[in-house]
Amino acid sequence: MERTRRPPRRAERGSKPAPGDEAAPGTPGTGEDLCPARVGRGALGARPCPNCNGSGRIIKGIGGA
């Protein structure tokens, strides 16, 4: 069975916000979600996705009041 390579988790690649992030990592009331631009794949062909910087994940606000 062939394993697919997964993009690095946000914690593995640092805490610098990506262009698609709604907040900085660790901000209360936020969480990781799959990048909508490439559905979590993190790449556009051989190039990293410009929305998530290649991680496949973005930081979004969760919940609501």
**What's the pLDDT score for residue 3?**
56
Stretch 48-57: mean pLDDT, rounded? 91
**What's the pLDDT score for residue 9?**
55
**What's the pLDDT score for residue 40?**
83
Structural domain harbouring 16: 12-65
- 29, amino acid identity: G
SS3 12: helix
The answer as to whether 35 is a domain residue is yes
Stretch 21-39: mean pLDDT, rounded? 89
Stretch 42-59: mean pLDDT, rounded? 90
**Count of domains in the chain?**
1
The answer as to whether 33 is a domain residue is yes
Greater model confidence, 46 or 63? 46
Could you tell me which of 10, 17, 23 has the C-alpha nearest to residue 56?
Answer: 10
The answer as to whether 24 is a domain residue is yes
CB count in 10 Å sphere of residue 54? 20
Structure tokens at 32: 């990781």
**What's the pLDDT score for residue 35?**
92
How many whole angstroms separate alpha carbon 12 and alpha carbon 22?
A: 19
